Structure 1
Amino acid sequence: MQDALAVVTVVVVGLLVGVEFAVAVFVNPILDRLPNDGGLAARSDGARVLGRVMPFWYIGSVVLGILWAVVAWGDTGAGLVVAATALLVVSVLMSIALLVPINSRVARWTRDSVPADWRQQVGRWDRFHYVRVGLIVTAFVLLVVGKA
Structure 2
Amino acid sequence: MAMMPSLLLGASLSLLGIVTGIHVSVLLHDHRIGELRPNHYVAMHQMRDRTFRRVMPGLWMMTWLLVMVCTILLFAPGTARTLGGISALTLLVDMALTVTRQMPLNDQIQKWTITTIPADWSRVRDRWATHHHLRTALAIVAYACFISAALVWLGRE
Fold conserved between structures, TM > 0.5: yes
Larger Rg, first or second structure (1 or 2): 2
Corresponding residue number in structure 1 for 2:155 = none
Aligned positions, number: 147
Task: State the Cα distance separating 1:4 from its structure 2 match.
Answer: 1.4
Matches within 5 A, 1:1-12: 1-12=4-15
Corresponding residue number in structure 1 for 2:120 = 117
* Residues 37 and 113 (structure 1), Cα distance of their counterparts in 2 relative to 1, 3 Å cut: closer
Task: State the Cα distance separating 1:7 from its structure 2 match.
Answer: 1.0
User: What percentage of aligned pairs have identical amino acids?
Assistant: 21
- Which residue identity lines up with residue 97 of structure 2 in the other structure? M
Task: State the Cα distance separating 1:52 from its structure 2 match.
Answer: 2.4
- Which residue identity lines up with residue 70 of structure 2 in the other structure? W
For residue 148 of structure 2, the aligned residue among 141, 145, 148 is: 145
Q: Is 1:128–2:119 an aligned residue pair?
A: no
Corresponding residue number in structure 1 for 2:81 = 78
The 8 Å contact of residues 38 and 117 in structure 2, kept in 1 or not, is answered as no
**Which consecutive residues of structure 2, in runs of 5 or more, have no partner in the other structure?**
152-157
The CA distance in 2 between the partners of 1:72 and 1:23, in whole Å, is 32
For residue 47 of structure 1, the aligned residue among 46, 49, 52 is: 49
The CA distance in 1 between the partners of 2:145 and 2:94, in whole Å, is 15
The 8 Å contact of residues 84 and 142 in structure 1, kept in 2 or not, is answered as yes
- Tell me the alpha carbon deviations over residues 71-105 of structure 1, each in whole angstroms, 9 at most, x when there is no partner: 12425612211110110011111111111110111
Q: Structure 2-normalised TM-score?
A: 0.85
The CA distance in 1 between the partners of 2:38 and 2:8, in whole Å, is 47
Q: Structure 1-normalised TM-score?
A: 0.90
Q: Is 1:97–2:125 an aligned residue pair?
A: no
The 8 Å contact of residues 12 and 61 in structure 1, kept in 2 or not, is answered as yes
Corresponding residue number in structure 1 for 2:31 = 29
The CA distance in 1 between the partners of 2:89 and 2:55, in whole Å, is 21
The CA distance in 1 between the partners of 2:59 and 2:34, in whole Å, is 26
Task: State the Cα distance separating 1:123 from its structure 2 match.
Answer: 0.6
Corresponding residue number in structure 1 for 2:68 = 66
